[in-house]
């Protein structure tokens, strides 16, 4: 196996297979960032005199060729090559000879991996925020479209008070703004430059870390080189927490839809082609999409715990255990975005039922409205409560079926414009 750390001997093949794991497959997602980091690094090396301008002018086009190859989907990590970092350097060396070997001066694979991951997570968090934004916009449109259609509100899964589809859709839109706070926090943690920390203890070369920070578009460096190395694991846990937050909201929405589609409720429905059937029951229209979404989102919520356990007892400095985080987090970003986009697609085709509260089974949902109506007429609240309660008990209660909610965030004033402004402010912090 070709290895950057080769010192004249080859480890046992079983050792190689066990330690490399899925790195070749997962590292393909880091390839563009590895080239990007290398370009910034060699520009800095030229500035501090470790590369000549002539060497830089040879290396940059060669790296750009590799970058173009990656964008065309033609880049591969060859059999016998350990990882993406090795592949890029071996391609340069094969093309340019000894000058290709100079790009690693002043860095370790540790900070090289770290900078690749930071750049990767920044982009993945932007992709997640874009998917959240698409679903948010869908929910806001539905909230406005159906704001006057009443539905039951529940506590303890018992009929409680009037709600509306406008509130239901709008609630999930606003909860996504809370989740975006988590995404932004993870982004800010990822948006720090570790390059120049080398193996975690710096370098005797006069590296210009401010220069690479600017070239790579980071907000600032990880100043302390040990702290930079310690960010491996902390960054992934922050990303996992953001993923779990969004997944929690989406999983809850999926559960609601599964319940509202049930014949016992019948509040929402979808075109037949977006549901599935039964092998023996011809009438079935199952919410399989939302059940799979619920299951995936529940699984995604386990990510922070999995990463915490993986990294809980590691000593200071780099440890190979950290490699396993890629297996956990990389697929999770894709799965979350797929779930968000599927939710957006499904909700584009949702039909909601009108006139639900006309059904006599929901008569008691208006008791609070009638208590409040009596209070507005001057009856003390406790007396009004008792009056309506006694009529329920003796079977004489007749609802007025009138709903007058006007305060901020209520049925008659769902505050969608204010919620949209909140989300716009949050999204601006990532773009």
Please, which residues have CB within 8 angstroms of residue 266's CB and are 6 or more apart in sequence?
A: 260, 353
Residues 250, 343: Cα–Cα separation, whole Å = 8
Q: Domain containing 322 — which CATH number? A: 1.20.200.10
Pairing between strand 351-352 and 158-164? unpaired
Q: Examine the domain organization and report whether 275 and 352 are in the same domain.
A: yes
Residue 4 belongs to a domain: no
pLDDT tops 70 at residue 280: yes
Q: Given this model, what pLDDT does residue 353 score? A: 97
Q: Examine the domain organization and report whether 343 and 364 are in the same domain.
A: no
**What digits encode the pLDDT tens for the residues 88-114?**
999 999 999 999 999 999 999 899 999
321: pLDDT confidence band, cut at 50, 70 and 90? Answer: confident
Q: Examine the domain organization and report whether 234 and 324 are in the same domain.
A: yes
How many domains does the chain divide into? 3
**What digits encode the pLDDT tens for the residues 402-427?**
899 999 999 999 999 999 999 999 99
Q: Given this model, what pLDDT does residue 15 score? A: 66
Residues 183, 297: Cα–Cα separation, whole Å = 16
Residue 426 belongs to a domain: no
Q: Examine the domain organization and report whether 266 and 347 are in the same domain.
A: yes
Residue 429 belongs to a domain: no
Cα separation values, 412 from 140, 144, 167, Å: 15, 11, 9
pLDDT tops 80 at residue 14: no
Q: Examine the domain organization and report whether 269 and 375 are in the same domain.
A: no
DSSP 314: P
Residues 88, 307: Cα–Cα separation, whole Å = 29
Q: Examine the domain organization and report whether 85 and 131 are in the same domain.
A: no
Please, which residues have CB within 8 angstroms of residue 30's CB and are 6 or more apart in sequence?
A: 84, 116, 117, 120
Q: Given this model, what pLDDT does residue 320 score? A: 85
Q: Examine the domain organization and report whether 78 and 138 are in the same domain.
A: no
Which of 310, 340, 358 is a domain's end point? 358
Q: To which residue do tokens 């299951």 refer? A: 295
For the chain, what's the residue count?
431
**What digits encode the pLDDT tens for the residues 145-174?**
999 999 999 999 999 999 999 999 999 999
Average pLDDT, the chain: 92
Residues 212, 161: Cα–Cα separation, whole Å = 58
357: pLDDT confidence band, cut at 50, 70 and 90? Answer: very high
Name the percent of the chain in helix, strand, coil, to the closest 5.
Answer: 65, 5, 30
Q: Examine the domain organization and report whether 121 and 83 are in the same domain.
A: no
Mean of pLDDT values over 379-395: 95
Q: Domain containing 81 — which CATH number? A: 1.10.275.10
Pairing between strand 220-221 and 192-193? parallel
pLDDT tops 90 at residue 21: no
Residue 427 belongs to a domain: no
Q: What residues are paired with 268 via a beta bridge?
A: 352
Q: Examine the domain organization and report whether 124 and 229 are in the same domain.
A: yes
pLDDT tops 50 at residue 5: no
Residue pair 131/180 in contact (Cβ under 8 Å)? The answer is: no
Q: Examine the domain organization and report whether 139 and 282 are in the same domain.
A: yes
Cα separation values, 283 from 101, 266, 268, 275, 286, Å: 67, 14, 17, 12, 10
Residue pair 51/42 in contact (Cβ under 8 Å)? The answer is: yes
Q: Given this model, what pLDDT does residue 22 score? A: 72
Q: Given this model, what pLDDT does residue 282 score? A: 73
Residue 251 belongs to a domain: yes
**What digits encode the pLDDT tens for the residues 202-232?**
999 999 999 999 999 999 999 999 999 999 9
| 222 three-state secondary structure | coil
**What digits encode the pLDDT tens for the residues 328-355?**
999 999 999 999 999 999 999 999 999 9
Residue 425 belongs to a domain: no
10: pLDDT confidence band, cut at 50, 70 and 90? Answer: low
Q: What are phi and psi for residue 84, nearest 5 degrees?
A: -65, -35
79: pLDDT confidence band, cut at 50, 70 and 90? Answer: confident
Residues 310, 411: Cα–Cα separation, whole Å = 46
Nearest to 51 by CA among 64, 36, 33, 39: 39
Residues 74, 96: Cα–Cα separation, whole Å = 20
Alpha carbons within 13 angstroms on the beta-carbon side of residue 69 total 16
Residue 403 belongs to a domain: no
68 alpha carbon, distance to own chain's centre: 28
Q: What is the pTM of this model?
A: 0.92
Nearest to 119 by CA among 177, 60, 178, 67: 67
Which of 312, 335, 358 is a domain's end point? 358
Q: Examine the domain organization and report whether 269 and 195 are in the same domain.
A: yes
Nearest to 129 by CA among 44, 212, 187: 187
**What digits encode the pLDDT tens for the residues 135-149?**
999 999 999 999 999
Q: Examine the domain organization and report whether 245 and 290 are in the same domain.
A: yes
Q: Given this model, what pLDDT does residue 274 score? A: 87
Residue 411 belongs to a domain: no
Could you list the residue range(s) of the whole structural domain that residue 71 is in? 13-105
């Amino acid at each position: 196996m070709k290895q950057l750390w080769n010192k004249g001997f080859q480890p046992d093949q079983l050792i190689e297979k066990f330690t490399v794991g899925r790195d070749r497959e997962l590292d393909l997602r880091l390839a563009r960032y590895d080239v990007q980091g290398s370009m910034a690094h060699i520009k800095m090396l030229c500035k501090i005199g470790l590369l000549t301008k002539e060497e830089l002018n040879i290396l940059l086009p060669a790296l750009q060729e590799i970058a173009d190859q990656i964008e065309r989907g033609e880049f591969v990590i060859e059999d016998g090559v350990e990882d993406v970092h090795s592949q890029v350097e071996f391609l340069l060396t094969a093309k340019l000879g000894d000058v290709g070997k100079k790009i690693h001066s002043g860095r370790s694979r540790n900070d090289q991996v770290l900078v690749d991951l930071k750049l990767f997570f920044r982009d993945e968090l932007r992709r997640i925020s874009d998917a959240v934004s698409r679903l948010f916009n869908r929910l806001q449109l539905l909230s406005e479209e159906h704001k006057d259609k009443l539905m039951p509100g529940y506590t303890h899964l018992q009929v409680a008070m009037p709600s509306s589809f406008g509130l239901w859709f709008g609630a999930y839109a606003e909860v996504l703004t809370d989740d975006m706070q988590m995404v932004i926090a993870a982004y800010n943690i990822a948006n720090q430059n570790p390059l120049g920390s080398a193996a975690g203890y710096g370098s005797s070369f006069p590296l210009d870390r401010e220069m690479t920070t600017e070239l790579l578009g980071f907000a600032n460096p990880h100043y302390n080189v040990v702290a930079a190395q310690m960010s491996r694991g902390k960054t992934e846990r922050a990303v996992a927490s953001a993923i779990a937050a969004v997944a929690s909201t989406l999983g809850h929405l999926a559960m609601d839809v599964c319940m509202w589609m049930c014949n016992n409720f019948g509040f929402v429905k979808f075109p037949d082609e977006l549901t599935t059937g039964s092998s023996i029951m011809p009438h079935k229209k199952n919410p399989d999409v939302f059940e799979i979404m619920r299951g995936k989102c529940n699984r995604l919520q386990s990510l922070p715990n999995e990463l915490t356990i993986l990294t809980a007892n590691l000593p200071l400095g780099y440890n190979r255990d950290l490699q396993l985080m890629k297996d956990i987090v990389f697929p999770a970003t894709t799965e979350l975005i797929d779930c968000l986009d599927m939710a957006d697609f499904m909700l584009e085709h949702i039909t909601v039922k009108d006139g639900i509260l006309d059904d006599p089974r929901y008569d008691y949902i208006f008791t609070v409205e009638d208590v409040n109506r009596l209070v507005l007429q001057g009856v003390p609240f406790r007396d009004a409560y008792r009056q309506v309660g006694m009529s329920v008990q003796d079977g004489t209660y007749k609802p007025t079926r009138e709903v007058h909610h006007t305060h901020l965030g209520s049925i008659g004033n769902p505050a969608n414009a204010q919620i949209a402004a909140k989300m716009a402010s949050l999204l601006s912090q990532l773009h």
